[in-house]
Amino acid sequence: MKLWGGRFTKPTNELVDEYTSSIRFDQKLAKYDVKGSLAHVAMLKKCDIIPAEDAEQITEGLKKVLSKIEAGEAELSEADEDIHMNVERLLIEEIGPVGGKLHTGRSRNDQVALDMRLYAREAVSELIVLVKSVQQALIGQAKANIDVIMPGYTHLQRAQPVLFAHHMMAYVFMFQRDVERLEDSLKRVNKSPLGAGALAGTTFPIDRAFVAEQLDFDGICENSLDAVSDRDFVVEFLSNGSLIGTHLSRLCEELVQWSSAEFNFVELDDSYTTGSSMMPQKKNPDVAELVRGKTGRLYGNLIGMLTTLKGLPLAYNKDMQEDKEGMFDSHETLKGALQLFAGMIASMEVNKESMYKAVSNDYSNATDLADYLVNKGLTFRESHAVVGQVVLNCIQASKYLLDLSLAEFKQYSDVVEEDIFEALKPETVVNARAAAGGTAKNSVLDQIEKAEQLLESSDVNKV
């Protein structure tokens, strides 16, 4: 008979069992479920709700059940619906009817909310560490290539030269926001719902704060209805994960472009690329493409969860069982991507010459010519018009700005002097942008220092 079979006169239709049970996927929660039950039973004992000997038997029994589940020796059944009832049945099989005391003052509704919070807490902490490893790899590339100049783009048109390190650091700060968002979310994840019961609380003299402390929570969910129906922390996890996915995906796109023959800015290490079954010459950036592609499922999981929650009345509804697969999937997807990314970035070769050639063979120093003329007394508008003319004539003559002679420059404006040649060199152009946050070497070195401090000051180890 089912644990809840008392008021039924017929067995459940098999298809119903199959359709409503969650054991296929929520067995992943076994260790959190047992951890929560251990804290719960310790509280039942402390509050004299069940006799100490019973609590001790239950504690030992739960530990055995978990080790059997983890060793694959426990038989998990669909008829028992979910991990919570499977654990309870296994416990009763292990220690006899006394196991039936475990569920005193508790419901699966507060239990599942607890399990998901414990899962989320660990997943968030794990992702923080992994995002940081990607940041470290990016900083490593920035430092190793601190003098490398590349074209900076807007509209994917060459705009102004930048340091390659500056470009790497842009992603470091992007990922820093992800780390901060994850850290911040822990404040909301780390509250204990246990003791909310099915929805209204419990008649037993329980001690919620004691359970919360046992499980290293920062406190309890204050309202029992909210405690069992809140999945905001799942939405936040999926949303933070989606943004990490967005950031990874943008970088993937750059890597795919940069590693093409057309750009030839970087070479991904052989160990992070794959070949073609037909074209022997191919070396494909599959990892970058797949990480970019998997961003779709991260968004899908987020939209799925939001849609599931939308319109649900308080308190628990079975719909909420749909929180799990998306959460697990986004967690695994991100974990896989971040683990690969750290190594792929760290092992990437930067093609300094190609980047320099791209910077030299374009007009990305045109702004600097305009600024030069302003410094010599023209208004910015006059100077913009003059430089536009220079660039147009150069394009028609297949020349770049640095190919012009002083005499040619002077035809456009007689304020131009010999120092123009120094002013238009990529190195000068880059280092002229020396204000905070700019691409000059000193500014980028400051950014690196700042980022390294931020990475160290994180408080993830607290959880």
For every residue of 115-181, DSSP letters joined together read HHHHHHHHHHHHHHHHHHHHHHHHHHHHHHTTT-EEEEEETTEEEEEEEHHHHHHHHHHHHHHHHHH
Residue 364 annotated in active site: no
Phi, psi (deg, nearest 5) at residue 274:
-135, 165
**CB nearer to ligand ARG: pick between 198 and 346:** 198
| CB nearer ligand ARG, residue 199 or residue 463 | 199
Which of 22, 84, 103, 155 is flagged as catalytic? 155
The set of residues, in sequence order, having a beta carbon less than 8 Å from that of 229 and lying 6+ positions away, is 199, 312, 314, 315, 316, 317, 320
Tell me which of 37, 103, 260, 276 is the catalytic residue: 276
CA gap 427, 227 in Å, rounded = 59
**Rounded-to-integer distance, Cα 274 and Cα 282, Å:** 8
* Token pair 């004691």 in the structure block, residue: 210
CA separation (Å) from 267 to 136, 171, 339, 358? 19, 19, 19, 16
Query: Which one, 199 or 432, has the nearer CB to ligand ARG?
Result: 199
Residue number, 54 or 82, with CB nearest to ligand ARG: 82
Q: State yes or no: is 360 an active-site residue.
A: no
Instruction: Between 79 and 169, name the residue whose CB sits nearer to ligand ARG.
Output: 79
Which residue is listed with tokens 């992702």?
A: 127
Contact residues for ligand ARG (CB under 6 A)? 22, 26, 82, 108-109, 112, 316, 318, 320-321
Cα 95 to chain center, whole Å? 42
Positions annotated as catalytic residues are 155, 276
